[in-house]
Amino acid sequence: MRYTSTRDNNVSVSAAQAVVQGISPEGGLYVPEKLPQLTVSEINALTKMDYVGRAAFVLSKFFTEEGPDGWEPEELSRCVKAAYGGTFRDPAVAPVKALGGGGRSYLLELFHGPTCAFKDLALQLLPRLLTASAQKVLQGKEIVILTATSGDTGKAALEGFKDVPGTRIIVFYPSEGVSDLQRLQMVTQEGANVGVVGVEGNFDDTQSGVKSIFTCPSLRAELEARDRVFSSANSINWGRLAPQIVYYVSAYCDLRREGKIAAGEKINFVVPTGNFGNILAAYYAREMGLPVARLICASNRNRILTDFLATGVYDRRRDFYTTLSPSMDILISSNLERLLYAVSGCDAGAVSGWMGALSRDGSYEIPETLLKALQKTFAAGSCNDTQTKGTIRQTYTRLGYLSDTHTAVGLRALEDYRGATGDNAVSVVVSTASPYKFADSVLSAITGGGSALRGFEAIAALEALTGVPCPAPLKSLREKPIRFTELCQPGDMAEFVANEQ
Ligand SMILES: *Cc1c(COP(=O)(O)O)cnc(C)c1O
């Protein structure tokens, strides 16, 4: 499998190069030149496998090629086993749970990894793909991972890369844009090769800062001279997106195995969305042949994607809100670029034009025909914090399921979608984080706004109230010493990286 760029179809690199570079030099994102297909008999075979087997099979379609950049099936299997073979608290890795509603609604729980959010599914594997790729194409150079986080990526990346030989990692987080527990998870991170910096701005400032460091020729050259190269653990990196395709396939296989759906029956996925990475992986699974009908894009009050999917106009000249679902407080959804490339028939010129307009003018508009094509596959919904809390409360009291604030946005979008369309297809809501990661908000939702408890007190109260146990990695944060206190301005991020020894 070769990879090209969303902004230049003349680009052609191996999987190893795409993973190591993270982003194409002209600013485009790497995409497979041709999406591999999953046949009906392959899906049937996967139904009988465990998560490790499913991941190894699906990913083998993306990591192929011969020669020095090539991947032995054995090598990929080793990476996959190391990532999923014992690091997740649930043996199923990504279990599917029924949610009442007459067998039509399910949750795909992606928070049983070390950091209790779905980012672990990709970031337990990425460091292994990246170091294997570096051996093929980098001749022993050290990799410097730069990551912007809206809260959950940072911790998952730190946990994935800590003490991995040949790598160092710097995580930038928006100092006012993450929950107390998210911050604590990052600033207590162990490992000799890690750095954590708060940026005085929002996630978009932080992400733009990292992107401009990547594409800054003088910084790159400086690093090169020290035998180091930059790479990214953000979902702009193909090595993060590919592992996410697996759990959509896996969820389908689980529903099939348990007889919840018939052979070939199409299902919907509902995905709480920020940077558009997770839902894009669902789109790729669908394009590969997984029987998926609609993809429902769920947003919080920052409803730029809801508006885009309704009007075809992407306009980031709007107020930015901090919400109870901070990992979705995003106005520049980077991975939308890959979707536009796919639906426009690989029109790199058009994509470059739209992305240029976005950074120059803050907006772009896609043609009507393209919008119609998108609306066939995608539905969209959004809700505010009051609705999010109401959904958490109702889902708990009526259905006995304790959801986090991000997942609640998805649950609400499904309810609204069903109400508006009457579409009653089996639908799987992606459950992206443990409720204990956002214990303050979840507790106050369940008690009807009557709680002002924060941090560990909120965790204890939520456990006592619901009997749902808090995952150990969150509980044990209390005892961990704080290691990182640095703050910087968005404009000083490059300097911070240059001074890193
Ligand atoms: C990152 C994140 C999201 C958004 O995922 P994207 O891939 O950025 O769309 C949703 N929920 C949680 C808990 C997250 O950490």
Q: Which of 327, 412, 434 gets mutated to test ligand 1 (max ligand atoms within 8 A of its CB)?
A: 327
Predicted confidence band at 273 (pLDDT cuts at 50, 70, 90)?
A: very high
Q: What is the mean pLDDT of residues 65-77?
A: 86
278 CA: nearest ligand 1 atom: 7
Q: Give yes or no for residue 66 having a pLDDT over 90.
A: no
Token digits of residue 121: 């599914």
**pLDDT by residue (tens digit) across 346-397?**
999 999 999 999 999 999 999 999 999 999 999 999 999 999 999 999 999 9
- Residues 257-269 have a mean pLDDT of 97
Please state the atom number of ligand 1 nearest to the C-alpha of residue 275: 8
Residue 501 in this model has a pLDDT that exceeds 70: no
The DSSP bridge partners found for residue 230 are 144
Instruction: Kindly report the pTM of this predicted structure.
Output: 0.95
Per-residue pLDDT at 453: 79
pLDDT at 101 over 70: no
Give the active site residues: 119
Percent of the chain residues topping a pLDDT of 70: 99
pLDDT at residue 155 is higher than 80? yes
Q: Can you say whether the dihedral through the CA atoms of 403, 404, 405, 407 is positive or negative? A: negative
At 49-59, the pLDDT tens digits run: 999 999 999 99
| pLDDT single digits (tens) 170-181 | 999 999 888 888
* Longest Cα–Cα distance in the chain: 63
Mutate to test the pocket of ligand 1, among 237, 406, 429, 474 (most ligand atoms within 8 A of CB): 406
> What's the whole-number average pLDDT of the chain?
94
Q: How would residue 441 be classed by pLDDT, with cut points 50, 70 and 90?
A: very high
Predicted pLDDT at 488:
94
Nearest-CA residue for ligand 1 atom 2 is 327
Q: Which residues contact 413 (CB under 8 A, 6 or more apart)?
A: 270, 272, 296, 297, 298, 299, 380, 381, 382, 383
Token reading at 40:
């009906």
Using CB distances shorter than 6 Å, the residues near ligand 1 are 117, 119, 152, 235, 272-278, 327-328, 406, 432-433
> CA torsion, points 343, 345, 350, 356, in degrees to nearest 10?
50
Residue to mutate (ligand 1; options 299, 431, 432; most atoms within 8 A of CB)? 432
CA of 203 to the centre of ligand 1 (A): 13
φ/ψ of 483, rounded to 5, equals: -105, -25
CB count within 10 Å of CB 135 equals: 13
| Ligand 1 atom closest to residue 150's alpha carbon, by position in its atom list | 1
